[in-house]
Chains A and B, each alone.
Chain A
Amino acid sequence: MNLIWQGIIEAFQLLIHGNREMLRIAALSLEVSLGATAVSLVLGIGAGTAIGLNKFTGRKFIISLVNTGMGLPPVVVGLVVMIFLWRGGPLGFLHILFTPIAMAIAQVIISFPIITGFTSASIQQLDSKLRFQILALGASRFQIIWLVLKETRLPLLAAVMAGFGGIISEVGASTMVGGNIMDQTRVLTTAIVMEAGKGDFGLAIALSVILMILVYAVNLLLTMIQQRNKAQ
C-alpha cells in the first residue's frame, strides 16, 4: 500500500515539474494514434457507407468479416505486420520495421474494422424511406451519401472514439512492430509496461495519468462535436 501511495506522489511530482522525455513519449503517442485514426476514419467511413447503402451479393458475408475484424486481437495484428515488414518478409524492402510508420500501419489495421462495422450498422439502421425521400427531392449520389452521414453523426463519432480509444491504449502490437525504442518508437503504453517491469512504479503511474488525460481530452473534443445541437 505504501508503494502505491509513494507511486502516486511521485507521479504528481513528475507531472508538475514536467519531463522532456515524458512529453516526447506523450506527443508520439498522440501523433501515431491520431494519424492512424484519421486514416482509418476515411477508409472506414468510406467502406462502411459502401456496405451500408448498397445491396450486393455476399453482403452478409462481408459484414460478418468486418464484425470479426472488430474483435481481432491487436497483438495478432502486430505479429502479422511484423512478419510482413521484417527483413526477408514480403514488404521488408520498405525498411519501416521499428519506426512509427509501422506502428501506425498496425493501428490502422486494428481500428479500420471497428469504424467500418459501426458505420455500416448505423447506416443500415436508418429508415430506408429516408433515402427515397432524398432521391425524390432530386439529390445526386454524393448528396445522398453526405446527408446519410449527417443523419448518423452520433454513432459515426462513437465509432471514431471507439477506434481511437482502442489503438491509443494498445500495447502488444506497438511493442512488436515499434520495438519500444527510446526517442524513436516509445509511446505511453509501451513505456508504462517497461517502467512497471523495471520497478519504477511512480513513473509508470505518472505516464498512466498522462495517458488517461490525453484519451479524455480527445474524447471530450469528439463528444462535443457529436453532441452539437442538431437544431441549428
Chain B
Amino acid sequence: MKRLIAPVLRTLIVTAVLLSLIGSLLGCGTTVSPVTTIVTGPATTVTVTPTQTAGVPATTVTVTPTQTAVAPSITTVTVSPTQTTTPKPVNPQLILATTTSTRDTGLLDVLIPMFQNQTGYQVKTVAVGSGAAIAMGQQGQADVLLVHMPDSELQLVQSGAGINRVLIMHNDFVIVGPASDPAGIKGMTDPVAAMKKIAMTQSLFVSRDDNSGTNGYELSLWAQLGNTYKGQNWYISTGQGMGATLIIASEKNGYTISDRGTYAAFQKSIASVLMVQNPAVMINPYHVIQVNPAKFSGINAAGAQAFSDFMVAPATQAVIGSYGLVTYGQALFIPDAGKTEASLGSK
C-alpha cells in the first residue's frame, strides 16, 4: 500500500513546488509589471520590460517617437518610476467593458498600465465588442465602457443606464476588397454610393454580423440604401472579429468594411486592397460611458469617473495621438477630447 502513496505524493509535491517556483518568479499577484514590445522595423524587436523592485511600483514606459522620412524609429525611451507610493482608492476593482479594436491595436496595453499606476485602480479589461459591452452596461455588469457604436450608445444613455458620455478619440473606416474590383468602386469617396454599387453588381460582401461597432457602421450604410443586402446570396455573415473577417474576405475575394487600424495590421497577410476611404465622412468615434450607479448596485462610480477623467487628460490624449506612429508609420487614433462629434466631420 505504501509503495503507491510515496511515488504519487512525491510527484505531486514536486509539481506543486515547481509551479510555485515558477509562479513566484513571475510575481503572481496583483502588482505585475506590463511587458511592452515595440517593433522598430521589419526585422528588429525591442522588448522593454520594466523590472519590479521592492518598494517601487511597476514603472511606466514612455515612448517618444520621431518620424523620419525613411522609416519610423524610436529615438527616446524613457523609463521613469512614478511616485513611490501608489494611491489606494477605497474600491480598487474596476470593470472596463470595451471593444476588440482597442485591445487588438494594443492601445489598451499602453493606456491601462498608465491608468493603474496613476490611480491605483485594478482594471479588469473585458474586450467583448461594442454591442456586448453596451449590453453589459445595460445590466450593470461593468463600471465603465469604452465603445464605438454611436446608435446603441445613445440608446444606452436614453435608457438611463449610461451617463456622462464623453468623446475620447476617433479613427476612420475603410472599404477593402479584391484587386480585381468587380464592383468598380476603387477610389470612390462616397461610402453609401460604393455599397450601392456592390449591391447592384452583386459582388461578394463579407459582414462581421457580430454586434460590434464596425458592424453597426456597416448596417447604418445599408440602412440608407433600404437594406437591400438582406437574404442575398452575395452577402456573407461571419459572426467573428475584424481580423478573422478580413482573412475570410481576402480568401473569398470579397469586399468588407474595416477600421483603418486593423486593416493596417493585417495588410501584409491578406490580398485585399484599399478601395474606399474618406476620413472626413467615414468617421469611427470612440466614447467613454459610465454606468449609472443610481440604477445598479455595486457600481464603482469613483473608479469609472477616474477612468473617464484619465482618458480626456492632456497627457493621455498625447499618448493616444502618437500611438501607432512607431509600428505602422501612422497614428491609429486621433485624440478628440473636448470636441463635439459634429465637428469631427469638418476636418
Interface residues in chain A, defined as those with a beta carbon under 8 Å from any beta carbon in chain B: 3, 19-21, 23-24, 27-28, 30-31, 34, 86-88, 92, 95, 98, 146, 150, 153, 179-184, 196-199, 201, 221, 225, 228, 232
Contact = CB atoms under 8 A, between A and B. Distances in A.
Given A179-B126, A182-B125, A34 B15 contact: yes
Nearest to A185: B124
B34 to A, nearest CB: 7
Contact of A197 (B3, B11, B104, B298): B104
Contacts of B95: 98
Nearest to B35: A21
Interface of B: 1, 3-4, 7-8, 11, 15, 19, 22-23, 26, 28, 32, 34-35, 47, 49, 93, 95, 100, 104, 109, 124-127, 139-141, 240-241, 243-244, 246-247, 265-266, 269, 296-298
A197 B244 contact: yes
A150 B241 contact: no
A195 to B, nearest CB: 10
A181 B22 contact: no
A228 B269 CA distance: 50
B34 A199 contact: no
B35 A198 contact: no
Contacts of B141: 86-88
Given A27-B26, A183-B34, A198-B104, A3 B19 contact: no
Nearest to B142: A87
A3 B269 contact: yes
Contacts of A20: 26, 35, 49
A232 B4 CA distance: 10
Chain A to chain B: the 10 pairs with minimum beta-carbon distance, closest first: A179-B126, A183-B32, A27-B22, A21-B35, A197-B243, A24-B26, A198-B104, A98-B124, A197-B241, A199-B266
A146 B1 CA distance: 9
Contacts of A183: 32, 34
Contacts of B28: 27-28
B interface, over-half SS: mixed
B124 A179 contact: yes
B11 A198 contact: no
Given A20-B49, A30-B19, A183-B32, A225 B126 contact: no
Given A150-B4, A198-B104, A27 B265 contact: no
A34 B240 CA distance: 31
B126 A27 contact: no
B4 A23 contact: no
A23 B28 CA distance: 11
Contacts of A87: 139-141, 296-298
Contact of A198 (B19, B23, B243): B243
10 contacts: A3-B269, A19-B35, A34-B19, A86-B139, A180-B127, A183-B32, A197-B241, A199-B265, A221-B15, A228-B7
Contacts of A199: 243, 246-247, 265-266, 269
Contacts of B247: 199
B185 to A, nearest CB: 24
B105 to A, nearest CB: 9
Given A27-B19, A28-B28, A184-B124, 8 more contacts: A19-B47, A27-B23, A31-B19, A34-B19, A87-B297, A150-B4, A183-B34, A201-B269
Contacts of A221: 11, 15
Contacts of B266: 199
Contact of A225 (B8, B93, B127): B8
Contacts of B32: 24, 183
Given A20-B35, A87-B296, A221-B15, A31 B269 contact: no
A150 B140 contact: no
A182 B125 CA distance: 8
B4 to A, nearest CB: 7
A145 to B, nearest CB: 12
A20 B7 CA distance: 32
Contacts of A153: 4
A45 B85 CA distance: 49
A213 to B, nearest CB: 14
A226 to B, nearest CB: 11
Contacts of A232: 3
B240 A98 contact: no
Contacts of B243: 196-199
Contacts of B125: 179, 181-182
Contacts of A23: 22, 26
Contact of A95 (B93, B100, B140, B241): B93
A86 B95 CA distance: 12
Contacts of B104: 197-198
